[in-house]
């Protein structure tokens, strides 16, 4: 459920007509709903009721400060994967002890930054990284709390570009080698082993791969404890999928996911962390664009939008499906038509949908891409010197621009011409 609904014949974001925002902000823009963001966070938080836990929002999904602050205000921790994300989390007021640092290639500078500012834990992904962290922490005279990300060799059954838990992926250390890597961690100065981390992929629409992975983690916990390691925290990653269509898709609910966590690792007495990104932000955001032209081609009609692949890359990159709906509610029973829906960028990859059946729309009409809140604005670029897409946050009847559209001057003046030219 989200808060983008037709009301009085017009799409609203909570209580605000989307067309009103478009009139003030221009198009394209992303629009997020506070109520949906906080509702989704709470679903996870409540799903883990009864277990000591922290839901660390994977801020890579949507990392605007206003979104982070909205979530932090209802109790979210943050999962960060770069020094930049760490600084964003801090800027949004999240204390270091609620920030976990994931990522396969943390640099020494990033380690230093997090150790100075405070960090809940590093999820370490390799032996060389462990060595580097040990050196950095020792030089600073501090101890770095760590988990080791294990790769459980589980097929997440998701898109190849977002699966991470198979042995051929670059992530984590093979679970079969975990005991030897934990022994190394325990021997290195400056590190404090506190737990285990696992993340197997994104947009999982079945609980079975999670079950396999978490059972392996539970088994490993017992094994590592027997080896004398203190395993008091399990970071179980993110990855729970969302419905991208409103028809027959029904991925498991957070409450079912929570029950699985309790069933598989609940008996271990560990504090549990999860790192959901997509499910928190995905259906909490839409991308609003305007139709520039309707062009009749050979045997097909094109809707040419003012939003493009630089604003939402998911269809081009992952063949992702997004519902695209008119902002003006179509009359019931109106005859539908088929369109190829494209942006103005100069490559054929700038296609959002082929032969999409839609209610008729005309040049000048607004359309909204649903389920665009996660991995939308954060993956946007200025390709074709198109201004970085702005973001708007709605809260009941109010809305605010939370990232303005840059002017062309701002964009162009970021470049500098060397003096020899
Ligand atoms: N934790 C770790 C270590 C991750 O790598 C990720 C996502 C998450 C948590 C959050 O997963 P989520 O709950 O959002 O599924 N750009 C792609 C998705 C990439 C996901 C990368 N890692 C897309 O647009 O589908």
pLDDT (tens, 9 = 90+) of the chain, 421 residues, equals 689 999 999 999 999 999 999 999 999 999 999 999 999 999 999 999 999 999 999 999 999 999 999 999 999 999 999 999 999 999 999 999 999 999 999 999 999 999 999 999 999 999 999 999 999 999 999 999 999 999 999 988 888 777 777 777 788 999 999 999 999 999 999 999 999 999 999 999 999 999 999 999 999 999 999 999 999 999 999 999 999 986 667 899 999 999 999 999 999 999 999 999 999 999 999 999 999 999 998 888 999 999 999 999 999 999 999 999 999 999 999 999 999 999 999 999 999 999 999 999 999 999 999 999 999 999 999 999 999 999 999 999 999 999 999 999 999 999 999 999 9
Q: Which atom of ligand 1 is nearest to the CA of 313?
A: 24
Active site amino acids: 346
Mutate to test the pocket of ligand 1, among 278, 309, 375, 376 (most ligand atoms within 8 A of CB): 278
CA-to-CA distance for 241 and 254, rounded, in angstroms?
A: 10
Q: Whose CA is nearest to atom 6 of ligand 1?
A: 238
Mutate to test the pocket of ligand 1, among 43, 47, 60 (most ligand atoms within 8 A of CB): 60
DSSP string, 178-242: HHHHHHHHHHSTTEEEEEEE---BSSB--SHHHHHHHHHHHHHHHHHHHTT----EEE----B--
Is the CB of 375 inside a 6 Å radius of any atom of ligand 1? yes
- Inter-residue contact 68 to 393 (CB < 8 Å): no
Is the CB of 158 inside a 6 Å radius of any atom of ligand 1? no
CA-to-CA distance for 73 and 71, rounded, in angstroms?
A: 5
Q: Which atom of ligand 1 is nearest to the CA of 159?
A: 25
pTM for this prediction: 0.97
Query: Cβ atoms within 10 A of the Cβ of 232, count?
Result: 15
């Amino acid at each position: 459920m989200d808060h983008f609904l037709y009301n009085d014949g017009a799409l609203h974001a909570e209580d605000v007509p989307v067309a009103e925002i478009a009139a003030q902000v221009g198009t394209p823009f992303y629009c997020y709903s506070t109520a949906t963001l906080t509702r989704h966070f709470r679903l996870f938080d409540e799903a883990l009721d009864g277990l000591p836990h922290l839901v660390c929002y994977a801020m890579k999904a949507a990392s605007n400060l206003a979104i982070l602050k909205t979530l932090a205000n209802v109790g979210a921790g943050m999962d960060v994967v770069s020094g930049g994300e760490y600084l964003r989390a801090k800027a949004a007021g999240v204390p270091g002890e609620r920030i976990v640092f994931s990522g396969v290639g943390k640099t020494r500078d990033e380690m230093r930054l997090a150790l100075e500012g405070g960090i809940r834990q590093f999820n370490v992904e390799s032996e060389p990284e462990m060595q580097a962290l040990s050196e950095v922490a020792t030089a600073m005279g501090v101890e770095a709390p760590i988990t080791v990300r294990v790769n459980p060799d589980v097929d997440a059954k998701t898109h190849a570009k977002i699966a991470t838990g198979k042995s051929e992926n670059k992530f984590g250390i093979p679970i079969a080698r975990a005991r030897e890597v934990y022994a190394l961690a325990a021997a290195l100065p400056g590190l404090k082993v506190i737990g285990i981390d696992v993340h197997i992929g994104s947009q999982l629409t079945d609980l079975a791969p999670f079950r396999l992975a978490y059972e392996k983690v539970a088994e490993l916990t017992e094994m590592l404890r027997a080896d004398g390691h203190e395993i008091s925290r399990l970071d179980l990653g993110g990855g729970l999928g969302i419905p991208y269509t409103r028809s027959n898709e029904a991925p498991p609910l957070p409450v079912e996911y929570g029950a699985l966590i309790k069933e598989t690792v609940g008996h271990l007495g560990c504090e549990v962390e999860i790192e959901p990104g997509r499910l928190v932000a995905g259906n909490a955001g839409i991308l609003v664009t305007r139709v520039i032209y309707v062009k009749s081609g050979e045997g097909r009609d094109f809707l040419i939008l003012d939003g493009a692949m630089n604003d939402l890359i998911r269809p081009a990159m992952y063949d992702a499906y997004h519902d695209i709906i008119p902002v003006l509610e179509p009359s019931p029973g109106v005859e539908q038509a088929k369109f190829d829906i494209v942006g103005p960028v100069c490559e054929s990859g700038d296609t959002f949908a082929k032969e999409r059946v839609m209610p008729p729309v005309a040049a000048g009409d607004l359309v909204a891409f649903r389920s665009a809140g996660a991995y939308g604005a954060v993956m946007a670029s200025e390709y074709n010197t198109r201004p970085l897409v702005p973001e708007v946050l709605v809260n009941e009847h109010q809305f605010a621009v939370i990232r303005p559209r840059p002017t062309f001057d701002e964009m162009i003046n970021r470049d500098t011409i060397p003096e020899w030219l």
